């Protein structure tokens, strides 16, 4: 029971524009992080991840669109803009090396306890690990690598195969370890409607 509760909690849920150009501004944003403008307050511990990756309300640049999701891959942070100049910031795991996804997309689909199937590229890169799931995939459940919630990113009506999703490996948050998808804790899924714009740097 405790394992199932933990996995549900750790599930998630859910490209580059000039409005977020990495320039130092008078409000304090810097070239290394084009979104956040002030240090966040330290929240109380809630998840078994590094403290800096806890969900935290932070100040952001006021021109960012309310409701949008912005991911700064090199900092391992996802921002959900909740009001002008305000966002909830979450730690994420991102794609490793050349598998990092960058660009613009939108949430085209949301699924609770999603099934999972590796892409042909994943099977080709690591057949020993993924080939057994190539045909039938894996049904949703506590052992599924997408966790209890997933938001599917689309471009022009087509599935990109990139997900914002939960994880059975919370220690991966804050690292570049995935095949391109974005892993995080389950604290965003209910707040994000289908159609939400997503920008990944």
175 is catalytic: no
Question: Closest Cα to residue 119, out of 200, 184, 179?
Answer: 179
Is 165 catalytic? The answer is yes
Quick check: 110 and 189 in contact, CB under 8 A? yes
State the Cα–Cα distance between residues 80 and 69, nearest whole angstrom.
Answer: 5
Choosing from 80, 129, 165, 175, the catalytic residue is 165
Task: Indicate the SS3 state at residue 200.
Answer: strand
Buried b (16+ CB within 10 A) or exposed e, 6-29: ebbbbbbbbbeeeebeeeeeeeeb
Task: Write down the catalytic residue from 80, 129, 175, 181.
Answer: 181
Write the CB contacts of 112 (distance below 8 Å, at least 6 apart in sequence). Answer: 140, 148, 149, 189
Catalytic residues: 165, 181
């Amino acid at each position: 029971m405790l394992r199932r509760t933990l996995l549900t909690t750790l599930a998630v849920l859910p490209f580059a524009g000039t409005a977020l150009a990495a320039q130092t501004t008078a409000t304090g944003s810097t070239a290394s992080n084009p979104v956040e403008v002030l240090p966040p307050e330290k929240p109380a511990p809630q998840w078994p991840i590094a403290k800096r990756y806890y969900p935290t309300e932070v100040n952001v640049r006021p021109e960012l669109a309310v409701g949008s999701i912005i991911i700064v891959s090199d900092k391992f942070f996802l921002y959900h803009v909740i009001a002008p100049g305000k966002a909830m910031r979450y730690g994420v795991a991102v794609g490793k090396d050349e598998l990092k996804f960058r660009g613009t997309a939108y949430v085209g689909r949301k699924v609770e306890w999603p099934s999972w199937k590796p892409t042909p590229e994943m099977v080709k890169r690591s057949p020993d690990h993924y080939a057994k799931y190539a045909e039938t995939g894996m049904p949703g459940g506590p052992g599924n690598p997408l966790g209890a919630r997933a938001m599917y990113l689309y471009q022009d009506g087509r599935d990109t195969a990139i997900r914002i999703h939960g994880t059975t490996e919370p220690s991966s948050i804050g690292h570049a370890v995935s095949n391109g998808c974005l892993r995080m804790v389950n604290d965003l899924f209910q707040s994000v409607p289908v159609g939400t714009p997503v920008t990944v740097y």
